[in-house]
Amino acid sequence: MSRQAGLSAKITAHSTSIMCQDTDLKGDITISEGVVIHPKATILALGGPIEVGKNCIIEEGAIIINRSPNVLRIGEYNQFMVGCRIEADSIGDWNTFQPRSTVSAGLVISNHCTFSAGTTSFPASSHTHEASDGLQTETETIPPYTVVYGANSDKRKWDGTNQLAEQNLREKHIEYLREIVPKYNRLRPT
């Protein structure tokens, strides 16, 4: 258990998850089976809890923050690459957050979305809802198979071509990481 500004860590991790010792985990965090968290990754449950679904990869320098009082549920087989910063309200399955991509609060990410390197995503002023603290917040749902790309963070729809090959590659990547990460890093006890 660690403390910072009164925030105690309550980490619940499945026995098959791999968490490197040199990570910053604060708040109420649940790690599901097969998750791999690299050194220098940061997960901060500053408001409500964070639940990470099975077989997610959280790489070096990735930052996941939940400032909302609601639970941030992260689905299965998501990949958070080096230096991405994610504050989304909810994340589905099989999403990729490439290096230095940024996703702000107010976004609900569905499934099979890709946020390309260096892109920044904020909610459009589509509609608002009242948060538990009484403040009005904007929300936007990113539809399945959306690709955010380019200097202007444009969006297009992916037709799902080679989806099975990509999923197989991600599964092999996770298997490789489960084998190699413990060899070269000190692990947190689960």
- Domain ranges for the chain, please list them: 3-184
Instruction: Could you list the beta-strand ranges (E) of 20-113.
Output: 24-26, 28-31, 36-37, 42-45, 50-52, 57-58, 63-66, 72-74, 79-80, 85-86, 90-91, 96-97, 102-103, 107-109
Helix boundaries (H) for the chain: 163-184
Confidence at residue 189, expressed as pLDDT on a 0 to 100 scale: 79
The predicted pLDDT at position 3 comes to 37
Selecting from 3.30.450.20, 3.40.50.970, 2.160.10.10, 3.30.360.10, what CATH number does the domain 3-184 have? 2.160.10.10
Given this model, what pLDDT does residue 125 score?
A: 66
CA distance 63 to 1: 20
Q: Given this model, what pLDDT does residue 9 score?
A: 74
| Contact indicator for 87, 104 with CB cutoff of 8 Å | yes
What is the predicted pLDDT for the residue at 124?
A: 83
Question: For the whole prediction, is pTM greater than 0.95?
Answer: no
Residues 6+ apart with CB under 8 A from 164: none
Q: Which amino acid is at 39?
A: P
Is the Cα dihedral 67, 91, 85, 16 positive or negative?
positive
Closest to 33 in 3D by CA, of 9, 63, 66, 56: 56
Tens-of-pLDDT digits for all 190 residues of the chain?
333 445 667 999 999 999 999 999 999 999 999 999 999 999 999 999 999 999 999 999 999 999 999 999 999 999 999 999 999 999 999 999 999 999 999 999 999 999 999 999 999 864 444 554 555 567 899 999 999 999 999 999 999 889 999 999 999 999 999 999 999 888 987 6
